[in-house]
Each structure stands twice: as structure tokens, then as C-alpha cells.
Structure 1
């Protein structure tokens, strides 16, 4: 079966499917966010699939939605009238060879461009010109993910402003962000001031937004705690406004709220109370496997407008060789 993208996509849109980051993959999530299931069409791999937790399934007979999707794809293929792949080959072998070589070169360039901008496309596909919040426990790879995004944006010829509030980045890390406008401050008032006067760049990264408040939260009075949370909400508002006015994307990292005085079954959210609603998407980083040589991390949807809760967004491996993110 050959998936006819031009003919199939308009039908997929009417059925509620949409593209996330990679325009070759169209998905529709289960209506129950707890399922972590969605169905999809991958035009690049020529596959119709069902995503369950962390893998693809292809058995259409076991799922009515997948069966319907496959039947739809097959019917559109039959109607397309495209020449069969078994058609006789051209007798002009030299021309065919030249075309094949040129097509192969173009495909390689296109694939390389896609791979080089995989993170940019992934994030922009979910949030567009808006705010993405990534939160997780200490050591779960938030800053590493932010750095990987910054490096990719810089490599693509775009501009990044990186606001570091934790000093998680080493001198080597900062040197690796050559071409990035970098600033460090742990002072919440300075962070507030900076976020009101952000430069015109393509991507703003704030790593992290909650840490400066969280570290002093226990010492604050009730009124001061309220004021601090309001300031955090205001900063989020400034970031959202900047993204809108500058057609840019904002990546914010954060910590989870405290476990203190929470019910055993309480799901920890990003620190900052109502500030979480300012982000268009919230992703969570979690350590899957940790060895002396590497750490494997999963990035999943915590609150998304496109996919179900806990749907895997990407896998990330941190090792001595660097950071590798697979989308």
C-alpha cells in the first residue's frame, strides 16, 4: 500500500487528525487522556499505526479505529489512479541514472535538514509562537534538553537568549553555546526585569523559572509567598506576550511542586500554582534508566492540547559523548 499524502491529508483533517512537528506524521489522540493512545499515519515510513504507551502497533484487526484508518488509506490509493510500481522501466538508462542520482542527493539534503532541525520542528509543531514548559525532578535532564534546543537553534542560523537562574551550566557548556546571548542571575527581581525587556530573538530559554522562588519559599511569610507566586504568573505573562509580539518560541524549565502536605495519590504539578496555565504545553522529564556511562530520560506530555496525558514526546540519552534526543 502506498499512502497518497495529497489526497489523504484533507480527509484526515476532517476526522480530527493533525500534524505535530513533523508534517509527515498525522495523529489523533484517544478521547481518554489516561489511555496514552493515539492513531497515526506516517507518510515518510508509509505506515498506518496505533501508538500505545511507548511503541507502535500495526494489527488493524485488533482495533476498529486502526481498521477504519487502514481501510480509508487503501480506498484512497485505489482511487488515485497512480501508475503501478510494476510498470516497465524506461529504456533510457543514462537519463534514469542521472535522475536517480539527483533525486537521491535531494532526498539526502532534505533528510539532513529535517534531522538537524528535529527539536525546533517538534517544539514549534506543538506550541508555535508560544510558551513550552518542561518540568521534572532535579537531575532529570531539563537543562540538558534546554541546551540541546539552544544549540540546534544556533546551528540553524537563528538567535537565542538563554537566561540561567540556577547556574547549572558549566563554563564548557556556556562556551558550547557560542552565538547565544547568555545571562545568569538567581535574583527573582532581576529575572522579572529581564523578562519585561527581552531582546528580539527567535527563541527565549528560561532555565529555570521556579528555582529562585522555590529555594527561598520556606522562609517567606504567607503574604510574601502570595506575592512571589503572583510575580511568577506575571513573568509567564510577559513571556507569553513576548512570544506573540516577536513571533518567537519560549522554552521554560521548572521544578515540581513540593510533596509536603499532599495526598498519597496527588499528581505533582509544576511549581507555581496558576502560572502553569500560561504555558500552551507542559512536558515532563523522567529518568527511565541510569547507569555509570549514561542516563536515559523520557519526555512525555503532562498537559497537552494535542496528545493524551503521558504520551511520549521524545527520548533523551545523556552520556560522556553528549546529549542525544530522539523524537
Structure 2
């Protein structure tokens, strides 16, 4: 290969995608889920190889295999030619503060986020991880995704920033929407309208899409195989439009999503955000999980699912939802 594989970056992603190490060695593999088919794909960090095992040998060039192509793309995106890490990704032994300082020097970071105002605590946290880019937050129904998005919007509005809120689920109450006074709010569950809106987003500081997967998921079972493929391609295109918007406007995009279906998955499969390859468009992916639920409150953990800065499942923040509102710490 032309690049040096980086286990610090690739292993968390491989774990997320269902790969497992072979007895603690430098080889990670994922077997085919087709009954009776003894085929698996693998990464050998010691030999610096990605491969597909067929019958009794490794194959290193499998052009018509989508799983192999995905693995090759991940490997090539983890390092520059010659084995150097990408300049926009932190080294494993760097501290979070050192990484952010380097990013600040290299990127055109919006100065509006560089302050000590406590009203921008959550925005500062997000910006320290993604800069001016896309954050995807996913989790099970009721795990606080919309509350998180709403809190981001309210904080941004309170600090004088311009917010565009695209609601596709109508999970917000009338009181929630009233709290969004001062931002541009739009509701539509129609994927074609969502696609058009995301291509023509106005200038703003923060864009929120809550959620990106729900409109497709609600009709997915009725779609033909071709229509399902087209829907997923549209989802990827929407993510691309959001990423381009963040770059052109020096803004933050927060996207909520649902997990993929558990149907027909192996027992040890780690559920990813719905949308297949679309997840690679987000700079960071965080997951919301309920830790404790009582009549008076719900405690939620927000952790890293795919991150350029911290390891898989590293806690990002705790969120508490009660009658007084939402607290993020």
C-alpha cells in the first residue's frame, strides 16, 4: 500500500463497523454474514495490508467488492502518502487542548465562538471538536436527541447568533417552538423538500436538522430496492450539502439521526447511524444513551461514537432533562 495504516485511527472505526481482532493480534477481520460463505475482509497492521480472504488465500485487489472498497477508502483516508497523518487530525499522544490550538492556527475559525461567556458553553464544546463543520448526534427514540438540538439552538439564539432550524419530525412542543423566537424555523417531513432546503440554506451561524434519517425511515419499508438505493444516495448528498454550507459560512451544523435497524444483523454488530456511507460526511458522531430515568428526570450520557479527537465511547457530556429544562455538563 502507498500509505501507512494507523491503528489509533482505524481501530475505533473498525470496531464500530463490526470488525474484531484475532486473539489480540495486529489483524482485524469481519466475516461475511451470508450463510455458508467462508469469506472475510481484514486489516493487517503489522504487514500494512488490507485484504479479502477467499477460500485459502488473501486477495489484495477486489475492484467489484463494495466491502473491500469501503475498507480501502477508510485505510487511505487515515494517512497521507508516506505514512504521515493528515494535518487536520490529532496525533494519538496529543492533548485535546493542543489539538484545538493547532486547528485554530490552521483554520479560519470564527472568532464569535472564542469567548468565556457561559451562555455558549454547549456551542464552545461542539466547536472545540468539530470547528466549522458537521456534528451528527444519533441514538434510540427518546434518548434526548431533539432536546440536545433544541438546547444548542436556544443557546445560540441567546448569544446573538443566527440559527436555522429544520424540523422533520415535529417532536417539538408549541412551547419549544416559542423558545426559538429569533431563529428561522421550518417544518417539513417530505424528503424532497428537505433536499431542496439543504441545497439553498441561508447564511447563518448554526444550522440544525432534526432529524435527517426519520423522513426516509418512515417510508423505507415501502420502497423498492432501487428506490432504497436512491434514498440513501439522496441522504449522502444532503450531508454533502450541509458540509459545504459549513465550509462556506464558517458555521456549525448539528444533525440528529436514528440508528440503523437491528434486523438481519449479527449478534455482535454495533449499530451505526442510519444512512450507510453518509456517516463519513460528519466530522464527529456522538451517541445519546439513557443512563437513568425517573418520573422527575432523565439522565443521558453523550459519548463519542466516531471521533478524530478521542476514543470510541469516551464521554463527551452528561445531559439531564427535568421540569426545569435541560442541563448539559
Same fold (TM > 0.5) = yes
Alignment-derived partner of residue 291 in structure 2: 288
State the match for 1:17 in structure 2.
Answer: 95
Equivalent residue in structure 2 for 1:213, among 216, 220, 224: 216
Residues 22 and 316 of structure 1: CA distance in aligned 2, closer, same or farther (over 3 Å): farther
RMSD: 1.9
One of 101, 123, 126 as aligned partner of 1:123: 126
Matches within 5 A, 1:141-220: 141-220=144-223
Q: What is the aligned length?
A: 227
Structure 1 residues 17, 177: closer, same or farther in 2, change over 3 A?
same
Deviation at 1:116, TM superposition (A): 1.7
- Residues 27-82 of structure 1 show CA distances to partners (whole Å, capped at 9, x for unaligned) of xxxxxxxxxxxxxxxxxxxxxxxxxxxxxxxxxxxxxxxxxxxxxxxxxxxxxxxx
Alignment of 1:19-38 (within 5 A): 19=97
Q: Which ranges in structure 2 are unaligned for 5 or more consecutive residues?
A: 1-90, 102-114
TM-superposition CA deviations, 1:190-223 (whole Å, max 9, x none): 0000000001000000000000000110000000
Answer yes or no: is 1:132 the counterpart of 2:210: no
Checking the alignment, whether the CA contact within 8 Å between 1:21 and 1:121 is kept in structure 2 is no
What residue number does 1:269 align with?
A: 272
Please report the TM-score for the alignment, with normalisation by the length of structure 1: 0.67
Larger radius of gyration: 1
Q: Which residue of 1 aligns with 2:21?
A: none
**Pairing partner for 1:244 from 227, 240, 247:** 247
Instruction: Please state which structure has a larger fraction of its residues in helix.
Output: 1
Q: Tell me if structure 2 keeps the 8 A contact 1:133–1:282.
A: yes
Partner of 2:309: 306
Q: Distance in 1 between matches of 2:119 and 2:296?
A: 25
Partner secondary structure for residue 182 of structure 2: coil
TM-score when normalising by structure 2: 0.67
Contact 1:21 1:124 in 2 (8 A): no
Query: 8 Å contact 1:21–1:126 — kept in the other structure?
Result: no
Q: How many Å separate the matches in 1 of 2:302 and 2:183?
A: 24
Deviates more, 1:114-123 or 1:132-141: 114-123
- Decide whether the 8 Å contact of 1:148 with 1:323 is kept in 2: yes
- Alignment partner, residue 83 of structure 2: none
What SS class does the counterpart of residue 288 from structure 2 fall into? strand
After TM superposition, give the deviation of residue 20 of structure 1 in Å. Answer: 8.3
Deviations along 1:232-271, whole A, 9 cap, x unmatched?
Answer: 0000000000000111110000000000000111000000
Q: Cα deviations across residues 267-309 of structure 1 (Å, max 9, x unaligned)?
A: 0000000000000000000000000000000000000000000
Cα pair distance change 1:138/1:15, threshold 3 Å: closer
Structure 1 residue 180: Cα displacement: 1.1
Greater relative contact order (Cα < 8 A, sep 6+): 1
Q: Distance in 1 between matches of 2:217 and 2:202?
A: 26
Q: In the TM superposition, what is the alpha-carbon distance from 1:19 to its structure 2 partner?
A: 1.7
Matched, 1:257 2:260: yes
- Paired residues for 1:99-110 under 5 Å: none
Q: 1:245 to 1:146 in 2, by over 3 A?
A: same
